[in-house]
A = this chain, B = another copy of it.
Amino acid sequence: MKITEKLLQAHKDENAPASFSFEFFTPKTSQGVQNLYDRMDRMYQLNPLFIDITWNAGGRLSNLTSEMVNTTSTVLGLETCMHLTCTNMPLNLIDDALQNAYNSGCQNILALRGDPPLDGSESTGDFKFAKDLINHIKNKFGNHFCIGVAGYPEGHPEEPNNLKTLEFLKIKQDEGADFIVTQLFYDVENFINWCKKCRDFGINIPIIPGIMPISNYNSFIRRAKWNNVSIPNHFIDRLDPIKDDDLKVRDEGCLLMTELCQTLLNSKFVNHLHFYTMNLEKSSTMLLDSLNLLSNKQKNDYECENSKPWRKSLNPLRESENVRPIFWKNRKFSYIQRTNNWDEFPNGRWGDSRSPAFGNVDMFEHNIIRHSSTKILSLWNRPTNSTELGNLLIDYLNNKIHCLPWSDTQVTDEINSIKSDLIDLNSNGIITINSQPRINGIKSTDKIFGWGPSNGYVYQKQYLEFLLPKLKLNSLLDQINLIINEDGYDSLNYFITDSSSNNLLNTNIIDSSDVNAVTWGCFPGREIAQPTIVEKVSFLAWKDELYLILKKWSNVLLNSSNDLEHEPENDNRLKDLKSSKFIDSLISDYVLVNIVDNDYVNPTDRIFTLIKKLY
């Protein structure tokens, strides 16, 4: 959606709280990119109106911006604004970038001239000024893109005449710019005066102030100088005495910026704040919290953001995607990668056309765990038996670690009602992989479980997926049969498989094409939405992925055990080897089980009760 439309929606009600957005730059390493995605994923929870990705001008990674815009829109479901500079950019690269943004469902471009070549030479690009780029975008894409431009409240570094700078801005508006994002600044009175001048000059598109949080003294001073912006005295007065204590600087800086933002929001010019995050999380969230904008995190009126229990992709090719198997609940990157080639989602419903289409797991094997070997070792250490692995999982369930080899996402409040049961299982040699609690008709606006339009009700069947030692398989079947005999054949549905079978080892599903809706919602004036399912064909595809994840993990440990450069005082090679063998045993000596409790109305907690009998 266009940023200008989102601004209108967010501020339909005059008393609505300020909206905000985050700017990120393209990292230098691929691990940095993965880490940034995780950070963006967390910051999505803060409910930014949009995010910006800066333009990666030239260089080896020249298409990284396009790639990131695609991921943030398609996988992370973040409304994205792509920066695009024309300095040194040939027309074909500009067109490629625009087309990629278009294809990714991105509808917002920040059109920039970009810094001139450092050696003082002329730009070699096809366009000289931002206005030419705007003109080109309009000619080529009509009104598809909402176009932002840069504003310079303290004047342009290369243009001493401030009136001229204002004229340039007006020209950009006349060429079709839809909004202005300003350079960072600390002089708030000057900013407000500049806004007045803009309005007097006929510049009436929204002005979004660029906010640079203060994280330490040196970078604060350096950035102000680099951007040629003045620092009001009270900033220096309050920061200089504590400049060597980073923590104190951050706290005081937060206060200073809070005052600045509050003054902006009290003026009639500003209802939205754009944060230059510098790819950091803390100082922006501190500032938001201090401005009381986090407590206002609430369900959007506009449905697109939250219309599904999973993160809806903004990629137009996935527009009609209305259902996902539960197995990839915490693996959205791999799910989207695997299903990227689906040329259509069958009108929002599952059917024969969908089922066998899970892309080959090999195609993304290099990325099966989204971390480098070093990070894998540091994140999850070296579990050598089920107790140690259980403890790792318990740390994850307690939010002490934020991801697992098979889970990109940290644990949310959703699992609170079953957390102690999950911990109990992991303390007793049963490795939980995925789960959801039962929900019987909670309001769709519920903070934890709600999704979809308001005034609806949402439902979930209890789901549990876990690895169980093969030796306990028969006991499990006995326990399941006890329940099935007592409560009815279809009270529970289960699938059991292992790494060596191409099919199921065991199930009580008679018709293997049956689809079990495990999350659904009933809304005013709508058909029932049933966005999360359990079905055999996708479980088998997921099984292959899970075993490949474990194999990769074991290989990382094995390679580490062979690494002769281990420092002697920290030689984990023996432990690496033992851990690698243990992870291998998860592949060879365990079965993968999932169970759905079909009764979401009468709370009996059959699943956990039956598994606990296996200890």
Contact = CB atoms under 8 A, between A and B. Distances in A.
Given A347-B351, A349-B349, A522-B520, A455 B598 contact: yes
A260 interface: no
A516 B520 contact: no
Contacts of A600: 522
B525 A509 contact: yes
Contact of A493 (B441, B488, B525): B525
A55 to B, nearest CB: 38
A454 interface: yes
A596 B526 CA distance: 11
A514 interface: yes
A517 interface: yes
B598 A490 contact: no
A516 B528 CA distance: 8
Nearest to A515: B527
B527 A517 contact: yes
Given A351-B347, A522-B520, A600-B522, A455 B488 contact: yes
A459 interface: yes
Identify whether the interface residues of A are mostly helix, strand, loop, or mixed. Answer: loop
A496 to B, nearest CB: 15
A489 to B, nearest CB: 9
A94 B580 CA distance: 75
A240 to B, nearest CB: 55
A50 interface: no
A552 to B, nearest CB: 33
B526 A514 contact: yes
Nearest to A353: B347
Nearest to A488: B455
Given A349-B349, A351-B347, A491 B455 contact: yes
A533 B455 CA distance: 19
Nearest to A441: B601
A600 B459 CA distance: 14
A517 B524 contact: no
A463 to B, nearest CB: 13
A525 B520 contact: no
A209 interface: no
B522 A488 contact: no
Contacts of A38: none
B488 A525 contact: no
6 contacts: A453-B490, A455-B488, A516-B526, A517-B522, A525-B596, A525-B598
Interface of A: 347, 349-351, 440-441, 453-455, 457, 459, 488, 490-491, 493, 509, 514-517, 520, 522-528, 530, 533, 596, 598-601
Shortest beta-carbon contacts, A-B, top 10? A524-B598, A490-B524, A517-B527, A493-B525, A528-B528, A516-B525, A515-B527, A528-B530, A517-B528, A520-B528
Given A509-B525, A517-B528, A528-B530, 9 more contacts: A347-B349, A455-B490, A457-B601, A515-B526, A516-B527, A520-B528, A523-B598, A527-B530, A527-B533
